[in-house]
Structure formats: C-alpha cells, structure tokens
Amino acid sequence: MSAAEQEVHSTLDRRRLLADRVIERRRTIAALETDASKKSADALTGRWNVILSPGEQKGSFRLSLDGTIVSGDYTLEGGYSGSLRGTLVSDRLRLERVDSELGFSAVYYGRLDRDWTSIAGTWESTELAGGAPGSGSWKAIRVEEKDEGP
C-alpha cells in the first residue's frame, strides 16, 4: 500500500512539472508571437526615407519583397520618380532604378541591418553624360507604418 501511495505522489509530482513546462512554453510562444507581429511582414516591404550622397538628395522608396525578388517605386527631390526592381539575398540588396523619363539610370547596392530598420550602401549611375556624379553612397531608414485600428 505504501509503495502504491508513493507511486501516486511521484506521478502527481511529474504531472505538476509537466503542467508547469506547458505553461512556460505557452508564455514563450505568446512572447515570440508578439515580437513577430511587431516586425514588418518581411525584412524589406514598406516605405523607406532615402538620402543619396554626394549632394544629400532626399527621397523615398516604397519596396515590396516576394521571395528574393524586390519591386517598388521611388520619388526623389528634383521631380525624379520611377520604379525599382532587384533582389534581396540574405542581407544583400541590389536595386535597379528605372526613371520615368530617363529610363534605366542607376544601380544601388546595399546591406540591410540586423533589426531591419536601415539600409546602407553605394550606388552607380548608368548615365555617363550630364555632369552629375557617377557614383556615391546612400542610406535608407524604414518609415514606421502606423497601425490603423478599428
């Protein structure tokens, strides 16, 4: 009888330990889901404020990521606008800028930071004439989208 009671107590203790583990894992999962929902759907999709150097030209990129394929559009000071196309592999971004009036005008190379809030890199113009710089650096900062609740 004593052995049976001891086995019952041992089984109940194991049950409590397992129940505690389940509760702790549910808390961990809930915390991870909350963190994940705070991040954008992916590393790149969204709006980015951009500064191109030399000249400190400002503008914005609106990007969308589908697998490794990037698409989007842009506007820059001076009335420049058009589309963007490229790839994101790991944290490496390559974008081609296709201007609405000038056509294929530049290639951007960048690296996405670990927390998905900025991109920094270099750019090269495909235009050889015109007196504008042929290359430079660029930086983009993610624009936080405001949640629109009910």
pLDDT tens digit sequence for 118-139: 999 999 998 776 666 789 999 9
Distance CA 84, CA 107 (A): 9
Amino acid of residue 118: S
Asked if residue 35 has pLDDT above 90, the reply is no
Domain at 46-142: CATH architecture = Beta Barrel (2.40)
Asked if residue 30 has pLDDT above 90, the reply is no
pLDDT tens digit sequence for 4-18: 888 888 898 899 999
pLDDT at 129: 63
pLDDT band at 33 (very low <50, low <70, confident <90, very high): confident
- The model's pTM: 0.69
- Which residue ranges make up each domain of the chain? 1-38, 46-142
Distance CA 47, CA 35 (A): 20
Q: Is the dihedral of CA 95, 102, 141, 54 positive or negative?
A: positive
Query: Which residues are paired to 60 by β-bridges?
Result: 49, 75
pLDDT tens digit sequence for 78-113: 999 999 999 999 999 999 999 998 899 999 999 999
Burial category of 76 from C-beta neighbours within 10 Å (exposed 0-12, middle 13-18, buried 19 and up): middle
Q: What is the mean pLDDT of residues 47-66?
A: 96
> In the predicted model, what is the mean pLDDT of the chain?
88
pLDDT at 40: 47
